Amino acid sequence: EAIDEAIGYGLTNDEINWDHDRFTNHWLAKSGQAATKLNWNRTWLNWMKTVIDRKEEKQQRDQSFKERFASKH
């Protein structure tokens, strides 16, 4: 269910797998209160939403660069 939701947000299976591994490693390395979550599915989806936000920001930066480059040539 959470994977379907992440796909619905625009992530590919490869992106989900890659960032799932990063998520798992990140939280396994944490300890104490910082690693205590009431809802791991929501925590995972929030992680994936951050991935999507960063992906969209990169696409916007890339598009802006292409437009600036094209206007100079």
Entry pTM: 0.74
Q: Please check the confidence at residue 14 and state whether its pLDDT lies above 90.
A: yes
Distance CA 12, CA 7 (A): 6
Least confident of 22-26, 42-46, 49-53, 62-66: 62-66
- The pLDDT confidence band at residue 67, using thresholds 50, 70 and 90, is confident
For the segment 15-36, what is each residue's pLDDT rounded down to a tens digit? 999 999 999 999 999 999 989 9
Stated as kind and residue range, the H or E segment containing 56 is: helix 40-72
Distance CA 51, CA 66 (A): 22
Q: Which residue has the tokens 């480059």?
A: 69
Name every residue whose Cβ is closer than 8 Å to that of residue 27 and which is 6 or more positions away in sequence: 35, 37, 43
Q: Please check the confidence at residue 1 and state whether its pLDDT lies above 80.
A: no
